[in-house]
Amino acid sequence: MARPPPKRKPKKTMMTTTTTTTKNNNNNRFRGSAEGRSAYFARREAANVLKKVLQGDARRRAVGSIKTLVYAPSVRNKKATFALVCETLKYLPVLKDILPEAGVLMTGKWKRHQELIYVTAYDMLFGQKSSVIEGGGPVEKYLAVREKTILKSLAQLLVRKKIKCPEDLVLNGQPSVVRPRYVRVNTLKYDVSSAIQELEKICKVKKDDVVPDLLVLPAGTDLHDHPLVVNGSVFLQGKASSMPAFALNPEPGWKVLDACAAPGNKTIQLAAIMDGKGEITACELNDKRVLHLKDTIKRSGASNVTVFHGDFLGINPKDPLFSKIQAILLDPSCSGSGTSIERLDHLLPSSEVNDAGKANNDRIWKLASFQKKALAHALSFPAVERVVYSTCSLHQMENEDVVMSALPLATSLNFNLVSPFPKWPHRGLPVFEGSEKLLRTDPAEGMDGFFITLFVKKREAKKKTRQLIPYPYKMHAWLRLHKVGRKKRGRKI
């Protein structure tokens, strides 16, 4: 009788064993403390943000500010990531100096990880130090092998600079400006009194004296993870940034165009001003910023906003989709010089060039050229009655000069300059007649530096005048009837 063939182990068992081994290897990487694991992931999140920041700064076309990128929903450990990004940027010139001398090369496979190398090197030299190696990955191990050489390069740099403390290598370029935390209540979802009641559980709250629905909180109040912020009941928005939409002040039921809409804070503010009635078209060209815009709109609950993914300058004003637009908010790309403190631009590599008196005038000239075209385009829409042009720039070239270039066209189309916020103390630079109707905000007063201009078509002003003030002949007719009525009543009595 023939022997039966020997039984073989099923392949399934081998695959299960392999999978289990892989999981064990992944767990072995994080056998360190919870602090070590947290630092490991924070460094990687910081490296992703740092990469976007440096790429945007090099191209002079930032996807968003440091804060915007750090506080995106995809970043989990926001506080640690924000600190790592800011500190790494602060020490970046030092790291770029000492790492090549220590043999840390940004070539080959390490070139893809250069931002993570910068973040980890900062953490190893000036930050967590002990937790860098604990539970570390390939980059941590790569730098750990060269730690003594890196420290030696740092010591040599201190000797060359005649400095005793490594912290003295870093210029403290961050201005000491204390600014309150502004919060705008999203009245599409929540009411102001409820927001005040809820926020007063953690800090003092008061209403702003200029912008409705804007609350003022103590400086340094961190609300990024607060439930009201997460669910879109309130939005973290500066006072100056909240003023352009309120200056436009479209009526409920109007058709409105936000010409350069992302990230969308002004768009949803317009929706709230209009009580969710009417139609708002939010125009944005950049692919990544469109995603951010859609996320903001979704979180706000605004149902009357449609996103137009395209170029504002490419829109035909006579197109039936846009020919009935009544109000336009134009807040185009600008140098951002008025928000450089809030955006932490002083930490970027390009700020060193600007501080040395070599500001990128070519870039500002190109921005101003685009802004002039955009403003002229906004004024050309046939049914538009109100246009707000605003920037977060301090440069005359992007502000008064742009408005001055559009005045002949505006006059020919029956537009007048109207003063938004008449009691506001800071006005436009006196470079042309009527510049006192323009508005500026002063960064020295705890706000971002904004510039706001309001154009109003004359026929709208006439329409409102007819509603409020009777014509003379109507007034006389009313008086005659009134006197006749009194005489008749007198005879009857």
Task: Return the closest-CA partner of residue 98 out of 168, 172, 156.
Answer: 156
Domain covering 181-236 in this structure, CATH number: 3.30.70.1170
Q: Which helix (H) or strand (E) holds 178?
A: none
The alpha-carbon radius of gyration of the chain (Å, integer) is: 30
**pLDDT value of position 346:** 53
The pLDDT of 438-466, averaged and rounded, is 79
Tokens of 310: 């395209």
Is-same-fold flag (181-236; 240-466)? no
H or E element that contains 311: none
Say yes or no to pLDDT of 298 above 80.
yes
pLDDT at 62 (0 to 100) = 57
- What interhelical angle do 361-379 and 400-412 show, nearest 10? 20
Residue 478 CB burial class (10 angstroms; 0-12, 13-18, ≥19): exposed
Give the pair of three-digit tokens for residue 154: 């740092």
- Ranking 30-39, 134-143, 461-470 by mean pLDDT, the lowest is 461-470
| Interior angle at CA 305, CA 302 and CA 309, nearest 5 | 135
Tens of pLDDT, residues 324-365:
999 999 999 998 888 755 555 555 665 554 443 444 678 889
Instruction: Tell me which residue of 46, 55, 65, 56 sits closest to 119, measured CA to CA.
Output: 46
How do 305-309 and 279-284 pair as beta strands?
Answer: parallel
Q: Give the Cα separation of 299 and 493 in Å (integer).
A: 68
Binding residues for S-adenosyl-L-methionine: 260-266, 284, 311, 331
Give the residue with greater pLDDT, 204 vs 133.
204
Among 283, 237, 289, 228, CA closest to 260? 283
Q: Where are the domains of the chain?
A: 32-169, 181-236, 240-466
* More confident site: 163 or 453: 453
Judge whether 392 counts as a catalytic residue: yes
Chain segment 176-203, per-residue pLDDT in tens: 456 899 999 999 999 999 999 999 999 9
Residues 454, 457, 461, 464, CA torsion sign: negative
Instruction: Tell me the HSE value of 478 on the side-chain side, using a 13 A CA sphere.
Output: 6
Give the single-character DSSP code of 109.
G
How high is the pLDDT of residue 248? 97
Tokens found for residue 208: 């702003």
Can you name the residues that pair with 309 across neighbouring β-strands? 284
Decide the pairing of beta strands 279-284 and 255-258.
Answer: parallel
What was the pLDDT predicted at 55?
A: 79
Catalytic residue among 86, 283, 334, 392: 392
CA angle, residues 417, 209, 455, in degrees to nearest 5 = 10
Q: What is residue 338's DSSP assignment?
A: G
Q: Nearest-5° angle of CA 429, CA 430, CA 433?
A: 130
Query: What confidence tens digit (pLDDT) does each residue in 244-281 have?
Result: 999 999 999 999 999 999 999 999 999 999 999 999 99
Q: Is 27's pLDDT higher than 80?
A: no
More confident residue, 333 or 111: 333
* CATH architecture label of 240-466: 3-Layer(aba) Sandwich (3.40)
